[in-house]
Structure 1
Amino acid sequence: MSKKAATISFFETFQSTHNSLNVHEENTIYWAIMYDDIKLFISFTERESFDANMALVSDYYPITGNVYSLLELCCYYGSVNCFKFLRTEFNLQINHTCLEFSFLGGKPDIMNECLKYQTPDQNCMVLAIASHNIDFVTFLMNEYDLKIDLSACIKFNNLQAFFVYLDQTKDLNECYILSPSFHIPSICEYFLENNVKIDATDSENEKTALHNAAYYNCVEVMQFLLSHGLCVEEKSKYLKTPLHFAAENNSIESVEFLLSNGAKIDARAYYMETPLHYACNYNCIETVKLLILNGANINAKTKQSKTALHFAVKNNCKNIVNILITYGISLNIRDKSRKTAL
C-alpha cells in the first residue's frame, strides 16, 4: 500500500468510527491545551464546574485505551505552560502514559519532569522513533539501555534511527532485508557492496528483500533487485511469493510490476493459497479486481478446498463478495467441512 493510500485508509477508518475533532475547536479546554494557550486554559480552570480530573474519551490517540487526562494531553501536545500549571495548582500525578506521550510531544521540560516519577520502557523507545527525534532515541539507548526497535523504524519511516540501529548492531543482513521499505534502491546497493548476499533471508519467515519490496510497494527497489539476480518467484518460509505479499497489502503498483515481469498469478503458498486468496482475506478490493482482470483462477481452492469467496465471506468483505459473484465465482464449491461460502 502506498503512503498516500495508507493515509486515506486511516482517515476513512477514523470517520467510520464516528470520531469527532470538535473537542479541538476554538474556545474549548482541549484547544487551549493543543496550542498551549495558558490564558484560555486558566479561564476554564476558574469555572465552578471545572474538574481537574476530567478525562477525554477518544480513539484518536496512539496509546492503548481511549480515556485521557488533561495532564496526559499536555504531554502529548508538548504544552509546557498548561502542564506546569496543572502540576503546580492541582498536584496532578504523573503516570506512565504521561511519560510515553512526552516522547511524542517533544518537549524536554515535560519529559524530564516525567522521568522523575516514571521509568521508560520499550514502548517509550517506539514512540521516540515515531517522533523522529533522534536525540530522544539515543538518550533512551545510552541512559536506559533500551534497544532500537527495528520494526518501528520501518513502520514510522525513520531512516536515521534505522542507521543508528545498523551502527549499533552491525546486522547487515537484517537491515538489508528490511531496507526496501524506505523506497531507496541505493540503500540496497550499499548492503550488496558490503558483501550481503542478494538472496539473504530473515530468520523468522525466510523473506528476502524482494518480498519486502513487494509488500511496501517499492517498484524501483524491485527493479534493482531483479536486475541484480533475484527471482520474481522467490519463496518465503510458507512458500509465499512476492506477489502474495503485494496482494495482501493492496500494493497495486507492485502487483502490476510483478505480473509484467513474469510472476505466476496463481502461485501457491504452503496451504495452496493463491495471491487472490490473500487479497480477499485482507479485503484488498483493488488488488482483487486487478488479479481477476489479469486472468487469476477465480475458483482456485486451498488445501481445505476453500475458494476466495470463502475468505471474503469469513471476513465480511461485502464488496469483494459482490465482485467475485459478478465475475462468476462458483457458489457451489464446498470446503473440506462440506460448507459452501454462502
Structure 2
Amino acid sequence: MRFAYFICVLFVFSWCATAEVAGRIEHATFKGSTPLLLGDLIHFTGGTAERRARLANVELQWPENKMMLTASALQKHARSIDDQLGDDWTTEGYKQVFVKQCWRLSKIELEKKVKRYLYKSFNSEYVRFRNVKFSGNEQDLCLIENPIHFDMEMQNVAVVFERQRVNILIEDRVVLSPVLDVSIEEKVAVTNVAKRRGDRILLSEVSWEWVPTSRVNMNELGNSYNNLIVTRNIKRGGRLKSVNTKIRPDVLKGKWVELSMRSGGISIKGKAKALSDGVIGETIQVVLDGQGQSISAKVVSKGAVVVSN
C-alpha cells in the first residue's frame, strides 16, 4: 500500500514538473523605456511555481530601431529559458506589446469617429446609433505612430453588433482594433391588425416603430412591404419579418401558366402546370400540358414563364 502511494505521489510530482506552461498577453500597452521583465508582458499559468517564476523574471532586451515587441519575439525568449517549451509553444491574446513610445488615441475622438462612420454607412431613416462608447482600458488605446490623422474600417460593413470591433488605420495600415459598445435602434414594420396565414399585407395596415436591437443588417433595412402575404399567423402589433411573410408569388403552385419556349428564332407557346410558387426572375419547375416530365422555366410576368435553350 505504501509502495503504491509512493508511486502515485511520484507520478503527480513528475506530472506537475512537466505540465505545460501557458502564457497570455493581456494588454497592448505602453511600458516605457525602463528595464522590462518577461512577466510584465506575459501572464504565465500552469507548470510549477518555480518554472513560472524563472520565466517571469527574464529581463528583456529592447528591440533596436523598433517601437514594439511582438508576441513571436516574446515566445522566443520564453523558449530559450525553458527547454521544456516546444518549438510550437505560443502565447494567446495580443500579438504585439508597445514598449518605447506611445501616442495615446483620444477616447472621445475615437467614439465620435466611429459614430460618424456608422451613420455614413447606414441609412439613418431606418437605423440610429444612440450611443457609441469605448468601455475598455484606455491604456490599450496606445499607438506606435502619432494619430494626427487616422481612418477606420469594419471587416463586415453590412452588419453592426452591440459589441463591435473596428480597425484603426494609419496610412492604410491597421494599427489598432478596439471593441466598442454600440446602442442600436432599428425602425421596424408592425401590423396594426391580426393576420392569418395566407392574408395579404396592406400598406394601410402597417406602421413603423423604433425598437432596440443587438444587431442590424444593412441588407434587411427598409424592406418593401408591398405585395406581401403572411406565412405565419401574426398578432396585432407583431413585427413583419422574413420568417412570417414572403413576396406574393407571381406564379402559384399547382396553377396553369402560359409557357413560351424559345429556340433560336422559333417560339412555341403552350400551357404548363407550376410545381412551386415563384416570383418574377425566379426559375421554377413546370410540367407541360399532357406530359409527365418536368422542365425548368423562368417566371417573366404574372402567370407566365419562359423556357430558353
Place the TM-score, normalised by the shorter chain, in its bin. Answer: under 0.3
Using the size of structure 1 for normalisation, the TM-score is 0.23
- Bigger radius of gyration: 2
Higher relative contact order (CA 8 A, sep 6+): 2
Greater share of helix:
1
Greater share of strand:
2
